[in-house]
Structure 1
Amino acid sequence: MLPEEVIPALLRAGIVTAEEAVRRGVLAEPIGLSHPVWRVSVGGVPRAVVKSFGPSRGGTDGEAAREAAVLALAARREAVAALVPKRLDWTGDGAVIATEVAPGAPALRDGPAEEQWPGLVAALAAPLAAFHRATRDLAAPAAARHDTLEVPVPWALRLFDGGSPRELWSTRPLADILSAAAAPGTVASLRRARGAWRRLCLIHADLKQDNILLDDDATPPRATVVDWEMARIGDPACDLAGPLSRLLLAAGEVPWTEATEVALRLWIAAYAEAARLPAPALAQRTVLYSGAWLLMSALTRASLHPPGGALEAVRPVLVAAANAFALAEAVTARAVAALA
Structure 2
Amino acid sequence: MSAFSELRRSALNAVLSVVVALLLAPSAHAQNDPLPSWNDTAPKAAILSFVEKVTKQGSPEFVPEPERIAVFDNDGTLWVEQPMYTQLAFALDRVKTLAPQHPEWKDVQPFKAALEGDIKTLAASGEKGLLEIILVTHTGMTTSEFEKVVTDWLSTARDPKFKRPYTELVYQPMVELLSYLRANGFKTIIVSGGGVEFVRPWAEKVYGVPPEQVIGSSIKTQFKMQDDTPTLYRLPEINFIDDKAGKPVGINQEIGRRPIAAFGNSDGDLEMLQWTTMAGAPARLGMLVHHTDTEREYAYDRDTEFGRLDKALDAAPIAGWTVIDMKADWKQIFKD
Which has the higher Rg, Structure 1 or Structure 2? 2
The structure with the greater share of residues assigned to helix is 1
Same fold by TM-score greater than 0.5: no
After TM superposition, the score normalised by the length of structure 2 is 0.28
TM-score by length of 1: 0.28
